Structure 1
Amino acid sequence: MPATTTLRTRPRPARAPRPARRRTAESAGSPLLLGHGRLPRVLAGTALAVFALLWLTPFALALVTSLQSERDVASSGLNPLKGALTLESYRQIVERGNVPVWAVNSLLIATLVTVITVVISTLAAYAFSRGTFRGRRVLLAVTVASIMVPPQLLIVPLFQQMRAFNLVDTYWAVILPQVVAPMMVFILKRFFDAVPRELEEAARIDGASELRVFRSVVLPLSRPIVAAVSVFVFIGAWNNFLWPFIIINDSSLMTLPVGLATVRESYGIQYAQSMASALLAAAPLILVFLFFQRRIVKSVATTGLGGT
């Protein structure tokens, strides 16, 4: 009989039971800093509600004050709503001033300042981020140092320069001094530094020029930060009061903040009309912020604006 052989199999060692995977805060959909459970969410929501209430209280008081008569506002008492609501303050401001023309001037100036500033800042930031020209470090240091220069120190030189160019009482006198924004150049430069250079090298291998690389590769990747910078520049240009107040004397060329200030000064201190004019000047900015708030938050969370 043929010998039969048996194959002996080694017994496999028993495996230790795998520990149950803990759900991380990211998989649970909650922020890492808040932890798990309902209590951190409640505390975070309460804190946000308190901060929102503190931020909205002055706005609500200004709105209530603007909807009352001057007599009711001037009366004593702690109750902010002292009388019937009325639109008399808004009607008087519109009748005494050329509000539609001032609003159009502000929109035109703020839009041009935003477009020119974004174009200049993006080109300068890309040159500082990718360029290897002589004097790059010195120019970058001067740009960063100019952030610390107060704009009020430049009013007299800028006014003399505008007068030498015969630009006083023109739109360009208001626009040109505002298109140089060192802070925006620095912010964009920090973002461009984080863009992978491999994408640009691949485009250059395909024969793309430097301008084509910047337009077709870098800018599409920089839409969040460019949108945020555009909003910041637009808000700054719209709120700018001192420089347009100095360089513009013609009432038909005034911006909305300057025009509303002249109406208030001509008719004395009237609190209801002051609040109404402030709300009229701030209303377009509120709409712009509500429309672009997601892009602003995204840019702050994903770029160097948040300190990263």
Structure 2
Amino acid sequence: MRSTWTFPKVATAVGASILGVIWLIPLLWAVSTSLKPESETTRSPITWFPATPTADAYRSVLDQGDLIRWFVNSSVVSVLVTVLTLFVSVLAAFGFSRNEFPGRRVLFGVVIAGILVPPQVLIVPLFQEMTSLGLVDTYWGIVLPQVVAPVMVFVLKKFFDGISRDYEDAARVDGASRWRIVWSVMVPMSRPILVAVGIFTFIGAWNNFLWPFIVTTDPSMMTIPVGLANVQGSYGLRYAQIMASAVLGGLPLLIVYALFQRQVVRGVGDAGIKG
């Protein structure tokens, strides 16, 4: 059956294409600049493509920093933050969605109010707490303050609200405990939204600069954003190397998103329908 192109479809396609080009321009510019000799980055008039492509900027960044160690640190931190956030958020969302207890609405409102609190407000007390616990320059010191995610609790709670209770009743008839219902009924049915939430959490943890910068002083414990920022600071305003750092730092996220793009889109769509 031949599809009919109506004005709304054409307008949507054109608008999406324009937004895609706008999103790609900075990325293409970063890649192009990273492949230029340093003398060419400040040349006038500005050129989109390098006249003499070179990988010197990438070699300089790799030589000046322990990129592999920072990559491992970012991977460990991001995975731990994602797993713990999903674990805590699923349990909290299920409790708010399925349990009736005094003060449930008030407590849920307090959790959601956390969305309105700027993270910068909590930097000093969190750092003092991590120092008193001896968690400075450790993975747990970087991970634990990032686990609290009221947005994730809100999204999952709304999704759970849209799941029929008949599935739980059937599981209870078969003798399933509440714990078994969560992990054998609710989680499998929520897989798309969990994947989407997990990817967003992973990206946020990978890109987080402020907290890892504050809580780490040992170069061997730095994450990718912190380590690359230190490398950039060591050579000043060298645009090719700055862009090479940005490309190296963002490349893993592009790969992760490309691998899970369908699940993310499906999860976001399901969240909108259920919510």
Q: Deviations over 1:276-299 (max 9, x none)?
A: 100100000001111111111111
**For residues 259 and 13 of structure 2, what CA distance do their matches in structure 1 show?**
23
C-alpha contact 2:33 2:50 (8 A) present in aligned 1:
no
Q: Kindly indicate whether residue 216 of structure 2 is the aligned counterpart of residue 216 of structure 1.
A: no
Question: What aligned pairs does 1:107-256 form with structure 2 within 5 A after superposition?
Answer: 107-256=75-224
**For residues 153 and 6 of structure 2, what CA distance do their matches in structure 1 show?**
43
Counterpart of 2:47?
79
Deviates more, 1:159-168 or 1:48-57: 48-57
The change in CA–CA distance for 1:29 and 1:98 in structure 2 (over 3 A counts) is: farther
**For residues 144 and 38 of structure 1, what CA distance do their matches in structure 2 show?**
41
SS in 2 for 1:58: helix
After TM superposition, give the deviation of residue 43 of structure 1 in Å. 3.8
C-alpha contact 2:158 2:274 (8 A) present in aligned 1:
no
After TM superposition, give the deviation of residue 65 of structure 1 in Å. 0.3
Larger radius of gyration: 1
**For residues 11 and 196 of structure 2, what CA distance do their matches in structure 1 show?**
30
After TM superposition, give the deviation of residue 78 of structure 1 in Å. 2.9
Q: Kindly indicate whether residue 264 of structure 2 is the aligned counterpart of residue 291 of structure 1.
A: no
After TM superposition, give the deviation of residue 192 of structure 1 in Å. 0.4
C-alpha contact 2:35 2:50 (8 A) present in aligned 1:
no
**For residues 12 and 81 of structure 2, what CA distance do their matches in structure 1 show?**
39
Q: Deviations over 1:52-104 (max 9, x none)?
A: 11111111111100000110102121323353110000000000000000001
In percent, how many aligned pairs have the same letter? Answer: 50
**For residues 195 and 168 of structure 1, what CA distance do their matches in structure 2 show?**
42
Specify every segment of 5 or more residues in structure 2 that has no aligned partner in the other structure, as ranges: none
C-alpha contact 2:86 2:194 (8 A) present in aligned 1:
yes
SS in 2 for 1:147: helix
**For residues 15 and 105 of structure 2, what CA distance do their matches in structure 1 show?**
44
After TM superposition, give the deviation of residue 138 of structure 1 in Å. 1.8
Specify every segment of 5 or more residues in structure 1 that has no aligned partner in the other structure, as ranges: 1-27, 31-35
SS in 2 for 1:281: helix
Counterpart of 1:262?
230
**For residues 6 and 206 of structure 2, what CA distance do their matches in structure 1 show?**
43
| TM-score, scaled to structure 2 | 0.96
C-alpha contact 2:32 2:50 (8 A) present in aligned 1:
no
Counterpart of 1:7?
none
After TM superposition, give the deviation of residue 231 of structure 1 in Å. 0.3
Query: Which amino acid is the alignment partner of residue 266 of structure 1?
Result: S
**For residues 96 and 137 of structure 2, what CA distance do their matches in structure 1 show?**
35
Question: What aligned pairs does 1:29-108 form with structure 2 within 5 A after superposition?
Answer: 36-37=4-5, 40-108=8-76
Query: Which amino acid is the alignment partner of residue 31 of structure 2?
Result: L
**For residues 204 and 163 of structure 1, what CA distance do their matches in structure 2 show?**
46
| TM-score, scaled to structure 1 | 0.86
Query: Which amino acid is the alignment partner of residue 205 of structure 2?
Result: A
After TM superposition, give the deviation of residue 214 of structure 1 in Å. 1.1
The change in CA–CA distance for 1:126 and 1:307 in structure 2 (over 3 A counts) is: closer
Query: Which amino acid is the alignment partner of residue 87 of structure 1?
Result: A
| Structure with more relative contact order (C-alpha pairs < 8 Å, separation 6 or more) | 2
After TM superposition, give the deviation of residue 44 of structure 1 in Å. 3.3
SS in 2 for 1:303: helix
Root mean square deviation, CA, Å: 1.6
Query: Which amino acid is the alignment partner of residue 120 of structure 2?
Result: Q
**For residues 139 and 285 of structure 1, what CA distance do their matches in structure 2 show?**
35
Could you say which structure has the higher helix fraction?
Answer: 2
Q: How many residues align?
A: 275
**For residues 78 and 88 of structure 1, what CA distance do their matches in structure 2 show?**
20
**For residues 9 and 86 of structure 2, what CA distance do their matches in structure 1 show?**
39
**For residues 183 and 174 of structure 2, what CA distance do their matches in structure 1 show?**
15
